[in-house]
Amino acid sequence: MPRAPAKSSAARSSTKSPPRPDPRALLSWYDRRRRDLPWRAAPGERADPYAVWLSEIMLQQTTVEAVKPYFLGFLARWPSVEALAAAPLEEVMKAWAGLGYYARARNLHACAQQVAFERGGVFPREEDDLLSLPGVGPYTAAAVAAIAFDAPCVAVDGNVERVVARLFAIDRPIREAKRELRETAQTLRPAARSGDFTQALMDLGATVCTPRGPRCDLCPFASGCEAARRGETERFPVKAQKLEKPLRRGAAFVLTCGGAALLRTRPPRGLLGGMSEFPSTPFRVDFDPSRAQAHAPAAARWRALPGEVEHVFTHFSLRLTIFAATLPAPPPHIENGRWTPLARLSEEGLPTLMRKVAVRAGLIVE
């Protein structure tokens, strides 16, 4: 029986796995192309653990561009963990308004107090110790340990997950492959410069290995990337089926009197916990608009404003009907209510949803 002809070297090379990614190539690229970020130490300078921690808490599920002005504002107002710990929680919540995910602000303040009052203002250096702090999960612990203290670990955020998924053509959605992605990323870590390596992976994902149209021609890992070898960079990471967010409805009540608006503070736990709001109903899938005024903060001639305010939270979408009324004199007592002069409404640190309500009611002009 005749033997099949031997494969050519070109054919053999087309099926050969790419060489393993070289961390030295990434670090060399980072030294030339690193992003200039306000919380990042300059080359050769020691990172400030407070700045690293503050930025990483703010960056959770939030873009770099959105975080920059908040980070600079916090650092100018509270330049140390001791200063932040001494600040009233209400002031911290107001300064955080608009950044979203408000439980982060409460945990930020609690963590600052623990570090300042129980640890002498010194952040722990090890991942396990960092994990004991309020609001610090596995990613943040690894990021602070690596970036601030050069601990031997790699922090894996969304950018890093995308890079690793493409490098090794991991054929499962990120949601299902998180542990594999995290463990694989650790195997890439060089013996030194863990902090720079972590930031280099983040920068690579943010600027080169982007979700759409990755610039493989600029990538220091291109020769070691399995997705690039296959010509399938757009297929990775594998996309999970998108689940439609449930729609909830509710109502908010804008009550004015003598040039002031009625606000209240939401309960400390739960959605928008501890933030200022116009009195509102619960947000429910089965909300009945005909019964909304049972939740009104005071008896008044309420009128429904045209249209609705729409907002998207992490786990659901919301549509709010806005009721407005004006009183000639304030009622003697409204539980948990306070009158805020309209001229100072913007100083209240309204969350984005309530700012939309104020705009719809004509109290704030954008």
Write the pLDDT tens digit of every residue in 58-95: 999 899 999 999 999 999 999 999 999 999 999 999 99
Q: What is the pLDDT of residues 348-362, one digit of tens each?
A: 889 999 999 999 999
Q: 6 pLDDT exceeds 60?
A: no
Which range, of 156-160, 305-309, 313-317, 330-334, averages the lowest pLDDT? 330-334
SS (H, E, C) the chain: CCCCCCCCHHHHHHHCCCCCCCHHHHHHHHHHHCCCCCCCCCCCCCCCHHHHHHHHHHHCCCCHHHHHHHHHHHHHHCCCHHHHHHCCHHHHHHHHCCCCCCHHHHHHHHHHHHHHHHCCCCCCCCHHHHCCCCCCCHHHHHHHHHHHHCCCCCCCCHHHHHHHHHHCCCCCCHHHHHHHHHHHHHHHCCCCCHHHHHHHHHHHHHHCCCCCCCCHHHCCCHHHCHHHHHCCHHHCCCCCCCCCCCEEEEEEEEEEECCEEEEEECCCCCCCCCCEECCECCCECCCCHHHHHHHCCCCCCCEECCCCEEEECCCCEEEEEEEEEECCCCCCCCCCEEEEEHHHHHHHCCCHHHHHHHHHCCCCCC
Q: How confident is the model at residue 140 (pLDDT cuts 50, 70, 90)?
A: very high
Using alpha carbons, list the distances in angstroms from residue 8 to 5, 13, 214.
Answer: 9, 9, 31
- In the numeric block, the tokens 């504002």 are attached to 73
Q: 9 pLDDT exceeds 70?
A: no
- So what CATH class is 247-360? alpha beta
Superfamily covering domain 4-235: Hypothetical protein; domain 2 (1.10.340.30)
Strand partners, 276: 265
Measured in degrees and rounded to the nearest 5, phi and psi for residue 284 equal -135, 155
Per-domain residue ranges of the chain: 4-235, 247-360
Which range, of 56-65, 219-228, 262-271, averages the lowest pLDDT? 262-271
Find, among 166, 77, 160, the residue nearest to 349 by Cα.
77
**Between residues 49 and 273, the one the model is more confident about:** 49
What percentage of residues in the chain have a pLDDT greater than 70?
95
What integer best gives the mean pLDDT of the chain?
92
**Distance, first Cα to last Cα, the chain:** 82
Q: 56 pLDDT exceeds 80?
A: yes
Q: Which amino acid is at 29?
A: W
Mean predicted confidence (pLDDT) in 198-227: 96
Strand partners, 324: 254, 303
Residues 339 and 44: their CA atoms lie apart, in Å, by 52
Q: How confident is the model at residue 16 (pLDDT cuts 50, 70, 90)?
A: low
**Between residues 289 and 65, the one the model is more confident about:** 65
Q: How confident is the model at residue 143 (pLDDT cuts 50, 70, 90)?
A: very high
pLDDT of residue 131: 97
Q: 365 pLDDT exceeds 90?
A: no
Q: 331 pLDDT exceeds 80?
A: yes
Residues 168 and 183: their CA atoms lie apart, in Å, by 12
56, 127, 161, 226: which is the annotated catalytic residue? 56
Residues 314, 319, 321, 324, Cα dihedral to 10°: 40
Longest dimension (CA), the chain: 104
Q: 1 pLDDT exceeds 50?
A: no
Q: Which amino acid is at 144?
A: V
Mean predicted confidence (pLDDT) in 125-137: 96
Is residue 116 within 8 Å of 85, Cβ to Cβ?
Answer: yes
Is residue 197 within 8 Å of 189, Cβ to Cβ?
Answer: yes
Q: How many residues are recorded in the chain?
A: 366
Strand partners, 283: none
Q: 119 pLDDT exceeds 50?
A: yes
Q: How confident is the model at residue 267 (pLDDT cuts 50, 70, 90)?
A: confident
Catalytic residue check, 56 = yes
- Hey, which of 59-63, 93-97, 251-255, 337-341 has the most confident mean pLDDT? 251-255
Q: How confident is the model at residue 8 (pLDDT cuts 50, 70, 90)?
A: very low
pLDDT of residue 224: 94
Q: 303 pLDDT exceeds 70?
A: yes
Residues 223 and 22: their CA atoms lie apart, in Å, by 9
pLDDT of residue 15: 53
Q: 14 pLDDT exceeds 50?
A: no
pLDDT of residue 335: 84
Which range, of 11-25, 110-124, 192-206, averages the lowest pLDDT? 11-25
Q: How confident is the model at residue 179 (pLDDT cuts 50, 70, 90)?
A: very high
Q: 35 pLDDT exceeds 90?
A: yes
What percentage of residues in the chain have a pLDDT greater than 90?
82
